[in-house]
Amino acid sequence: MLTFKGKVERILFEKDDYLIATFVTENGKKIKIVGEMYGISADDKMKVMGCFEEHHKFGWQFRVQEWNKVMPDTAQEIMEFLSSGFIKGVGRKRAELIIEQLGNEAVKIINEQGAAALKGIKGIGEKTAQTIAESIQENFEIHDIIEDLKQYHIPTSVILKLYKKHRSETVKKVLDNPYIMTEIRGMNFFKVDEIARKHMEIPYYSGRRVSACVGYTLNSICNRNGHSFVSETELIVQTMNNLNKFADETEHVDEMQVQQTIYSLDDEILVATNNKVYPKKYYDYELNIAKKLSIIRNNNRMGEALPKIKELIRKYQKEQGFILSEEQKVAIETMMQEKVMVLTGDAGTGKTTVVKAVLDIYKQLHKESVIRLCAPTGRASKRLQEATGKYASTIHRLIGYKNDGQPFYHNGNKLVADLVVVDEFSMADLEITHLLLDALPKETKIMFIGDADQLQSVGVGNVLHDFINSNIPVVRLTEVFRQAKESQIIFNAHRVNQGESILVNHDKGDFYFIQQENVLAIQELIVRSVKRFFELGYTLNDILVLSPMYKTDVGVDVLNERLRNEINPKSPSKKEIKIGKRLFREGDKVIQNTNNADKDVYNGEIGIIKSITKEENHFGKLVDIVICEFDGKLVKYSRDEMHEIDLAYAITIHKSQGGESPVVIMPVTMQHKVMLARNLCYTAITRAKEKVVLIGDMKAMDYAIRNVKVTKRNSTLKERIINEFEVLKKMMNV
């Protein structure tokens, strides 16, 4: 093996960990180096070890097998290194001060001693010193950690993510328990287990392995099905299947060991009780939601006098020039008298009208009150704001949600709010409900609004249904108003919800069903329909193409490609970026698919890619940056953050919840049989404000309408709410 010391002259090619660069040795010889190297930039001093090899196309090059960065050791090299832009918090003047104080071993001293080495240097405070030290240490420490762990065939990208969390402890923590790698996105139990067994010699029966598998299996079942718990029996069976998937009979983990592991993890990562096993956080969420609701409901329960409310309702009707239904009046009266209530009802029954009346009347009664309006997604909050004329935010923004750690508003720092209105509550899962209630003072009045016939939340729980079926006051609106009755969209939404076939009157011009059984023809008709609406003056943002599934010939994935090629075709003037198998282009319509509080963008928000460019990272290297616009707000994504967005020319019906669009277009085909259900079609139709175009087979539509099967979610929230309220009521009566 040959060894060369020298300096990187120029980076020729770089992708992930693979690098090709020109390298000038100490004696001035120029060679081409190739191999897996990370965090290398032009002018870096390095020691490389390897051998020469001849490439059939590019000739002789030096294959790097081992490498490390060399500490700069002259005043000039140190000056270049510190002021290069790689080190956060250091410019040329500050670099001069550091060299003046610490001499030619400045980098080495800071790397070894950390922030303490910079103490007393003019203009460098404690915080800045910490930033400088961490930046320098990262430049050298990370290489050693990568080298230590790559022998176990751990991907460099995974090591880097672990390093961000565990810093200098990374190697120790991974070697102590390799299953901490399951913390990293994309590293499920099976991927980590393969590394641990094959390369780290972790035995099948290892306690660390079994514990990791119990946790993985429990969370997988719950998250996949929306359960807050699974039966102990199911958990044991599924865990054993996962553990013994590749084992021979001599290596099998038995039922006793799995059961004992479950008990040993009780109150640590899970809670096991009465043959039910909960991920601990979901157990705690259920308890906390029930307790918070009980405390709020029992705090100062004296509501407004009914005669006064009735008088204000009469006044409101006179001012607005219309008459509220009896159901709507009952809803307003209930809200004014109760601390917590649920308002539910189908599309067209006037839930928004009730909300507007409640806001007006409550403000008359409490002129100085603070009223908050919110919804689970950005699309839903925007819709609420447009409907009421009052500011509305996502629940996440309201409570100051953070990606890591506690929201800004929580049990120890309460949000100021006298009345909170939560719309589209069918979308709310256990976690966001818990966080919201945790942030609210016990004096707050809360109105939850949701359509119980829409799809369940994407996240864990069945919160709206549990609320409705508990002892929380509920008002259900059933009367469809005349204006809504005239709409074929509302008319057919109600027919679907009642299990009746749709009826289409094309002359009315707001609801269409185009019969077509051939899926490729359906695909083509969807594209033509979108183009036709463009001709009628609708924009890309006005049209919502929905599909029940990602796969199939008329699934989201295929429709996104077809529509993008037609609407936003490849052009020399439009930059593109490829992330794995996914391609993004300037002008693409995209959807945020996760909550990112740091960027202030949340799940379900739809935007446009404005530009694809390059910016320097903290290593001083140019990296790809994608800039998206969400409702006037610009958000930057690096390459490793691009998993947060997807194309949105077409989206799933689940993703459309909480939003509205002038036009909805949807394929209806037996290719989607596994997903076709009444609540799915009802949700899709009710997303449209002006036009619905269904394209497909009426037999598939009728199948969906007949299919009322709703996956039952394991939950004990309803029982906890009932119990907590009864317990607290008894205590107060003692």
Helices (H) and strands (E) in the chain, counts: 26, 26
pLDDT band at residue 36 using 50, 70 and 90 as cut-offs:
confident
Q: How far apart are CA 211 and CA 499, in angstroms?
A: 46
pLDDT for 299: 79
Amino acid identity of residue 534, one-letter, is F
pLDDT for 587: 97
Count other Cβ atoms within 10 Å, centred on residue 555: 22
pLDDT for 405: 81
Q: How far apart are CA 589 and CA 602, in angstroms?
A: 16
Instruction: Concatenate the DSSP letters of all residues of 35-53 into one string.
Output: EE--S--TT-EEEEEEEEE
Over residues 459-468, the pLDDT tens digits come to 999 999 999 9
The share of the chain scoring above pLDDT 70, in percent, equals 97
Amino acid identity of residue 227, one-letter, is H
- Give the residue, 425 or 146, on which the prediction is more confident: 425
pLDDT for 621: 64
How wide is the angle at C-alpha 522 spanned by C-alphas 520 and 524, nearest 5°? 70
pLDDT, averaged across the chain: 92
Element (H, E) at 578: strand 576-579
72 burial type by CB count under 10 A (0-12 exposed, 13-18 middle, 19+ buried): buried
Over residues 102-145, the pLDDT tens digits come to 998 898 899 889 999 999 898 899 889 998 998 888 877 877 88
* Segments in 444-518 forming alpha helices (H): 463-468, 482-485, 488-497
292 burial type by CB count under 10 A (0-12 exposed, 13-18 middle, 19+ buried): buried
Q: How far apart are CA 219 and CA 230, in angstroms?
A: 10
Furthest-apart CA atoms within the chain: distance in Å: 96
pLDDT for 140: 79
Q: In the structure encoding, which two tokens stand for residue 106, read together?
A: 């400045």
Average pLDDT over residues 618-631: 81
DSSP class of 301: -
Give me the phi and psi of 731, to 5 degrees please. -60, -40
The share of the chain scoring above pLDDT 90, in percent, equals 71
Q: Is the pLDDT of residue 568 over 80?
A: yes
Average pLDDT over residues 24-28: 93
CA-nearest of 275, 276, 212 to 242 is 212
DSSP class of 50: E
CA-nearest of 122, 120, 129, 126 to 89 is 129
Q: In the structure encoding, which two tokens stand for residue 201, read together?
A: 């010699």
Q: How far apart are CA 431 and CA 717, in angstroms?
A: 12
pLDDT band at residue 302 using 50, 70 and 90 as cut-offs:
low
Average pLDDT over residues 48-71: 90
pLDDT band at residue 604 using 50, 70 and 90 as cut-offs:
confident
User: Which residues lie across from 642 on neighbouring strands?
Assistant: none
Q: In the structure encoding, which two tokens stand for residue 714, read together?
A: 């394991």
Q: Is the pLDDT of residue 566 over 80?
A: yes
- pTM of the predicted model as reported, rounded to 2 decimal places: 0.85
Q: Provide the pairing of β-strand 543-547 with 576-579.
A: unpaired
pLDDT band at residue 554 using 50, 70 and 90 as cut-offs:
very high
pLDDT for 186: 86
Q: How far apart are CA 334 and CA 325, in angstroms?
A: 14
Over residues 280-298, the pLDDT tens digits come to 999 999 999 999 999 999 8
pLDDT band at residue 710 using 50, 70 and 90 as cut-offs:
confident
Average pLDDT over residues 566-579: 95
Q: How far apart are CA 153 and CA 200, in angstroms?
A: 9
Q: Provide the pairing of β-strand 419-422 with 276-279.
A: unpaired
pLDDT for 41: 78
Amino acid identity of residue 119, one-letter, is K
Secondary structure (3-state) at 634: strand
